[in-house]
Structure 1
Amino acid sequence: MTKSYSGYRVLLVHAHPDDETINNGATMALYAELGASVTLVTCTRGEEGDILVPELTHLASGATDKLGEHRITELADAMNELGITDHRFLAEGKKVYRDSGMMGTDPNNRPDVFWQADLAEATQYLVSVIDEVKPHVLITYDEIGGYGHPDHIQAHRIAMLAADESIWQIQKIYWNTMPKSVIAESMAKMKELGSDFFGAESVDDLPFAKDDHFVTTLIDGNSQVEKKMAAMKAHVTQISTDGPFFALSNNLGLQVWGDEYYTLVRGDKAEPFDENGRERDIFAGVKL
């Protein structure tokens, strides 16, 4: 991509700090570098996340319950690495939606968690962002939130509802996706090296792995991988530098993180296409 994207605007809706970098870090950095306006809305502060750094385990929800505050700083550091200046939490300054934890766990029942949020109220908070920012493109999760996490599902719900209820009409909506062929290649390589892949035996064991035909759009963000990896490292409590994410990078090459895949669910595919008929630009066909 060589043209300027000044005037183009994209909004990403994610559940927790670090979701944005893992799923869309290269895409975000690429379009920001090319001049587009990139806005991130994060719905919770990730209070129930696992802590991978032993010296920070005192922050856990079962201890001092300060992890959410810490992850605000991690998110800010990650966005600085990606070059994103407009990042905010849902209902910024009005209400804090707490991380719901995994489905069926005790945190799900707390009245302040995102999973228990009043859907209409939460949707209106996002509607206000859409009408302010006026994004041409929206990126969020699919209807199962990728892998069934309640906060991901809720983020999907409010994103889609807000897109319908806002005065501003979003031209294209994408859901994050991860094709089975790419995951299968990664799993095979990791097994050769004697490492597991999130404990899965087969690609069919992974709920976020989608049949390749779901991929309508592939963004080549390989020029942004260093930024993405630096942003991942900024989420220090959540992503271990000796864990599976960085093992993939070391053993498969950085392209495993530079290519980011999407399913277009609203709007029309537009040129340029790759040899497989996939879009190469989320703003293709967008009218300013």
Structure 2
Amino acid sequence: MLANYTGYRALLVHAHPDDETINNGSTMALYAALGAQVTLVTCTRGEEGEVLIPALAHLAAHETDALGDHRVEELAQAMAELGVTDHRFLGEGVKRYRDSGMMGTEPNNRPDTFWSADFDEASQLLVAIIDEIKPHVMITYDEFGGYGHPDHIQAHRVAMAAAERATWNIPKIYWNVMPKSVIQAGIEKMKSLGSDFFGAESADDLPFAKDDSFVHACINGGDYVHQKMAAMAAHGTQIAIDGPFFSLSNNLGLEIWGNEYYTLVKGEKSGELDGQGHESDLFAGISITS
């Protein structure tokens, strides 16, 4: 990797506050610390999320419906932990998209959800951001949204359409991926300790686990994993400090969250590859002077 990434620009497109930290926290912190411009676009405020802090249960959608505003604050704190200063909501100041909830639930039928958004309008809002910041790398979800959440799927669709429609040509596009081998190792370790990981017996039980062949890049963000865990803790209504994420960290070591994995869907593998043929730098092969 380069020692200085000043002039390099990355755009991440996520569905709800906390998705960015779970999937890309170490990557974001690493590149921000090395001087790259890291821009996060979050498509909804996560109004339909479950509230894991009993004292804040009143914020839930079925109570005061104030969770979205609280999660905006959580996101700001998390980004401060990661050193990311440019974080925005899609349509900020123009349009607000609501968390869609899971498919088939009552919230999913609301007309103001991201899932129900005018697709061309939402895509054009992201086109404007792409043409403004001119990212060299874009990161978002795969076509299944990782695990099938409507907002994740819509974020994928909007991001990929916007990349096609923008005047600026993004050199490299990556999708987040969680390899089965890594997840299975975590499950086995937790089972040996008499615990579990999201109740799974096997990585095959988890919809977000993908075959290792989908891994084209692995970012070693071990030096920034403490920042990632602090950012996770900032998303307190969504990530319990006694839940599976922190349990894995306590029992396997923080390094399990330091490595983050990606599928390259636009551009060519470049730079130094590891022993498994994975890129170690998402910006590899990109010249900011060209």
Q: 1: CA distance between counterparts of 2:196 and 2:190?
A: 6
TM-score, normalised via structure 2 length? 0.98
Amino acid paired to 2:55: E
Question: Which residue in 2 is equivalent to 1:118?
Answer: 118
Q: 2: CA distance between counterparts of 1:149 and 1:238?
A: 16
Question: Which residue in 2 is equivalent to 1:172?
Answer: 172
Q: 1: CA distance between counterparts of 2:57 and 2:102?
A: 19
Q: 2: CA distance between counterparts of 1:168 and 1:287?
A: 15
Superposition pairs of residues 9-88 of structure 1, within 5 angstroms = 9-88=9-88
SS state of the match for residue 240, structure 2? coil
SS state of the match for residue 127, structure 2? helix
Q: 2: CA distance between counterparts of 1:70 and 1:10?
A: 26
Amino acid paired to 2:64: T
Q: 2: CA distance between counterparts of 1:222 and 1:140?
A: 21
User: What's the C-alpha RMSD, in Å, of the aligned pairs?
Assistant: 0.6
Q: 2: CA distance between counterparts of 1:194 and 1:144?
A: 32
SS state of the match for residue 115, structure 2? helix
Superposition pairs of residues 157-236 of structure 1, within 5 angstroms = 157-236=157-236
Q: CA deviation at 1:287?
A: 2.0
Amino acid paired to 2:24: N
Q: CA deviation at 1:73?
A: 0.2
Amino acid paired to 1:167: T
Amino acid paired to 2:195: S
Q: 2: CA distance between counterparts of 1:118 and 1:42?
A: 17
Q: 2: CA distance between counterparts of 1:219 and 1:77?
A: 23
Identical counterparts, % of pairs: 70
Moved more, 143-152 or 189-198: 189-198
SS state of the match for residue 177, structure 1? strand
Q: CA deviation at 1:28?
A: 0.1
Q: 2: CA distance between counterparts of 1:275 and 1:196?
A: 30
Q: 2: CA distance between counterparts of 1:125 and 1:15?
A: 15
Amino acid paired to 1:133: I
Amino acid paired to 2:155: A
1:125-153 deviation line (CA, Å, top 9, x unaligned) = 00000000000000000000000000000
Q: 1: CA distance between counterparts of 2:62 and 2:38?
A: 35
1:64-115 deviation line (CA, Å, top 9, x unaligned) = 0000000000000000000000000000101110000111111110000000
Q: 1: CA distance between counterparts of 2:259 and 2:15?
A: 22
1:230-286 deviation line (CA, Å, top 9, x unaligned) = 000000100010110000000001111000000000000001111111000000001
TM-score, normalised via structure 1 length? 0.99
1:186-208 deviation line (CA, Å, top 9, x unaligned) = 00011111112112222111111
SS state of the match for residue 6, structure 1? coil
SS state of the match for residue 182, structure 2? helix
Q: 2: CA distance between counterparts of 1:221 and 1:251?
A: 19
Q: 2: CA distance between counterparts of 1:49 and 1:199?
A: 19
SS state of the match for residue 116, structure 1? coil
Question: Which residue in 1 is equivalent to 2:238?
Answer: 238
Q: Which runs of 5+ in 1 are unaligned?
A: none
1:171-227 deviation line (CA, Å, top 9, x unaligned) = 000000010000000000111111121122221111110110110000000000110
Question: Which residue in 2 is equivalent to 1:250?
Answer: 250
Off by >2 Å, runs of 4+ in structure 1: none
Count matched residues.
Answer: 288
